[in-house]
Amino acid sequence: MPITEFLERNAREFPNDISLVEINPEIKESRRVTWKEYELIEPTPQTSYRREITWSVFNEKANRFANLLIERGIKKGDKVAILMMNGLEWLPIYFGILKTGALAVPLNFRYSSDEIEYCVNLAEVDILVFGPSFIGRVEEIADRISKGRLLIYVGEGCPSFAEDYNSLSANCSSQSPNIELTDDDDAAIYFSSGTTGFPKAILHKHRSLVHSCKVEQNHHGQQKDDVFLCIPPLYHTGAKMHWFGSLLSGGKAVLLKGTKPEFVLEAVSKEKCTIVWLLVPWAQDILEAIESGKVNLDDYELSQWRLMHIGAQPVPQSLIKKWKSIFPNHAYDTNYGLSESIGPGCVHLGVENIHKVGAIGKAGYGWEVKIVDEHRNTVEKGGIGELAVKGPGVMTCYYRDEKATNEVLADGWLYTGDMAQEDEDGFIFLVDRKKDVIISGGENLYPVQIEDFIRTNDKVHDVAVIGLPDKRLGEIAAAIVELKEGQTMTKEEMDEFCLKLPRYKRPHEVIFADIPRNPTGKIEKPKLREKYGANKLIAEQNLG
């Protein structure tokens, strides 16, 4: 069954129920705008604080866009890229693409013009749909990428090199195009994070998307009256696959633009959100705002909030222990996944396993996992090796990259590149990315373990441990430490704090600086290695 059938079902069974709400807290609220009003009056900065659509309108919008694409020659197997910020239009456009039998190709909103051009060409995109934030970047490459491709603009003030989404779709039929789809049809191309050069194109079938719906609902038990707060970008598998739980249950979801603690808490309070997926930095910000008195929990209605879960990166135990001390009634969960495994859930902690905070969990619903050595033989329990996963959500391939595909796929297993360890109870702990392991004087150092320790310091807001080149040891561990606002610390103080670590794990260098993270919350370690590794080499050359 293709994933589009869930949307059709919701439109039939819950036509007048709210499906999506968009909130932009940075625009002053002057009045509530419904989709009916939106159809008649293009929202202005004064009217677009909050918008909403029902399931029936969601489906009609998807159908209109699907019929528009078909009129423009899009057929099964073609590709349509989406380059937009989160908003009410995003998901109807995504599902409109799927309804044609074409592949949806979401693009990272941080991509430069060169990266957009690269991804459009790699995925053999036929149409690019883009929003106001990307006019400049698309214009730079419009002459090159528009040859044989249609550029569709979603927003006010359509540029001359594109066609207008609103006027194009307004007269298209709102009835389903009724293109026959199966689980085996290709559905989407997602791109890897691209933190180590240009990203890879990850191909998934409808089967993968449907399985991610079932995984999410099985793990978090979404019911019709649950309200999911979605903050991360929808181009990423993580945000969308967590939202798939709402799609399956027919529940409401809130798309929040902005990550400030007061924005999150106000959205939870006003929209009666029950499930919130946070990234580590946002959870840290909320805790710090509460501790500093910047936000007062008594100002919000949070009693209905039942689940806080985190994914996309290792989660510090200290963070969750502090969270539970402030929100003792919250269920907590963490999910592990990759875009290659259709996002979160192939490994899953489970809300009943709060005593195992720090672990990423066990095999998720419908998944198998194993930990292997460099020869891909299963290691003994307790040994460190590469995590491999197998299940209905594994990608088909890296599109147009057979070599890269063969490096990570074998006999249905996806070899993740993440180093992990299984404890005596069968719970898996993420140790680090294989490429991030530091080999210092013959010892393997796993930065995540060192980072978890440093984060227990009350002055530390964020930390990243990287390997820097060293003439004698090959590499040394360097801790990039971002302090909480208003805090100060010396290298000597951090060195003294780290005396509790085994000698070989103690950072040789401590650098106080901001930690760069991508939109999904992952630390951009290649940037840190490039910046501070280059600085160290220059310093050594000068000394030499």
Rounded Cα distance between 16 and 8, Å, is 13
pLDDT surpassing 80 at residue 8: yes
Query: Strands, DSSP E only, in 143-197?
Result: 150-153, 163-164, 186-191
pLDDT digits (tens, 9 = 90+) for 516-540: 887 666 778 878 888 887 565 545 5
In a domain, 275, yes or no: no
Shared domain check, 150 and 75:
yes
| Mean pLDDT on 46-71 | 90
Shared domain check, 32 and 103:
yes
What DSSP designation does 155 have?
S
pLDDT surpassing 90 at residue 125: yes
Query: Strands, DSSP E only, in 114-185?
Result: 127-130, 150-153, 163-164
Pairing of strands 331-338, 307-311: parallel
Shared domain check, 214 and 128:
yes
Q: pLDDT class for 441, splitting at 50, 70, 90?
A: low
In a domain, 355, yes or no: yes
Instruction: Quote the crossing angle between the two packed helices 261-271 and 280-292, to the nearest 10°.
Output: 90
Shared domain check, 411 and 442:
no
At which residue do the structure tokens 């950072």 appear? 507
* Domain finish residue from 433, 448, 466: 433
pLDDT for res 534: 57
Distance (Å) of CA 134 to CA 83, 153, 330, 385: 8, 10, 38, 41
Rounded Cα distance between 45 and 475, Å, is 52
In a domain, 375, yes or no: yes
Q: Cα 81 to chain center, whole Å?
A: 18
Rounded Cα distance between 358 and 329, Å, is 19
| Mean pLDDT on 388-401 | 96
In a domain, 268, yes or no: no
In a domain, 73, yes or no: yes
Backbone angles phi, psi at 415, to 5 degrees: -90, 115
In a domain, 278, yes or no: no
Question: Which CATH number characterizes residue 28's domain?
Answer: 3.40.50.12780
Pairing of strands 79-83, 103-106: parallel
Shared domain check, 205 and 349:
no
Could you tell me which of 307, 384, 393, 408 has the C-alpha nearest to residue 349? 307
| Mean pLDDT on 90-110 | 96
Distance (Å) of CA 207 to CA 183, 395, 406, 442: 5, 10, 21, 44
| Mean pLDDT on 486-499 | 92
Question: Which CATH number characterizes residue 352's domain?
Answer: 2.30.38.10
Shared domain check, 389 and 495:
no
Residue 451's H or E segment, with its range, is helix 447-454
Shared domain check, 352 and 239:
no
pLDDT surpassing 80 at residue 166: yes
Poorest-confidence range of 156-165, 184-193, 468-477?
468-477
pLDDT digits (tens, 9 = 90+) for 347-383: 999 999 988 988 999 999 999 999 999 999 999 989 9
pLDDT digits (tens, 9 = 90+) for 318-338: 888 899 999 999 999 998 888
| Mean pLDDT on 482-507 | 89
| Mean pLDDT on 456-476 | 84
pLDDT surpassing 60 at residue 439: yes
Shared domain check, 177 and 62:
yes
Percentage of residues in the chain with pLDDT exceeding 90? 66
| Mean pLDDT on 247-274 | 95
Of residues 299 and 316, the one with the higher pLDDT is: 299
| Mean pLDDT on 148-169 | 94
The 10 Å Cβ neighbour count of residue 1 is 11
Poorest-confidence range of 100-114, 389-403, 501-515?
501-515
Is 64 in contact with 173 (CB distance < 8 Å)? Answer: yes
Is 495 in contact with 506 (CB distance < 8 Å)? Answer: yes
Is 370 in contact with 378 (CB distance < 8 Å)? Answer: yes
As a whole number, the mean pLDDT across the chain is 88
pLDDT for res 61: 97
Shared domain check, 502 and 353:
no
Shared domain check, 501 and 456:
yes
In a domain, 387, yes or no: yes
Is 256 in contact with 230 (CB distance < 8 Å)? Answer: yes
pTM of the model: 0.82
pLDDT for res 358: 84
pLDDT surpassing 50 at residue 504: yes
Q: pLDDT class for 472, splitting at 50, 70, 90?
A: low
Could you tell me which of 508, 463, 510, 460 has the C-alpha nearest to residue 490? 510
pLDDT surpassing 70 at residue 419: yes
Rounded Cα distance between 63 and 499, Å, is 62
b/e burial code for range 76-97 (CB count within 10 A of at least 16 → b) = eebbbbbbbbbbbbbbbbbbbb
* Domain finish residue from 409, 433, 457: 433
Query: How many separate domains does the chain show?
Result: 3
Question: Which CATH number characterizes residue 444's domain?
Answer: 3.30.300.30
| Mean pLDDT on 253-266 | 94
At which residue do the structure tokens 């991804």 appear? 119
Domain that holds residue 494: 437-543
Poorest-confidence range of 24-38, 370-384, 397-411, 443-457?
24-38
pLDDT digits (tens, 9 = 90+) for 10-45: 999 999 999 999 999 877 443 343 333 333 334 444
Q: pLDDT class for 313, splitting at 50, 70, 90?
A: low
Rounded Cα distance between 362 and 53, Å, is 37
pLDDT for res 541: 44
Give me 179's structure tokens.
């293109």
pLDDT for res 34: 39
Poorest-confidence range of 38-47, 166-175, 251-260, 312-321?
38-47
Give me 391's structure tokens.
């299940």
Shared domain check, 446 and 369:
no
Could you tell me which of 423, 418, 484 has the C-alpha nearest to residue 457? 484
Q: pLDDT class for 314, splitting at 50, 70, 90?
A: low
pLDDT for res 497: 93
* Domain finish residue from 433, 460, 486: 433
Give me 141's structure tokens.
């490459």
In a domain, 265, yes or no: no
What DSSP designation does 464 have?
E
**Which class for 425: exposed (0-12), middle (13-18), buried (19 or more C-beta within 10 A)?**
exposed
Q: DSSP string spanning 90-127?
A: HHHHHHHHHHTTPEEEE--TT--HHHHHHHHHHTT-SE
Rounded Cα distance between 169 and 173, Å, is 8
At which residue do the structure tokens 């002057």 appear? 30
Shared domain check, 423 and 315:
yes
Is 238 in contact with 232 (CB distance < 8 Å)? Answer: yes
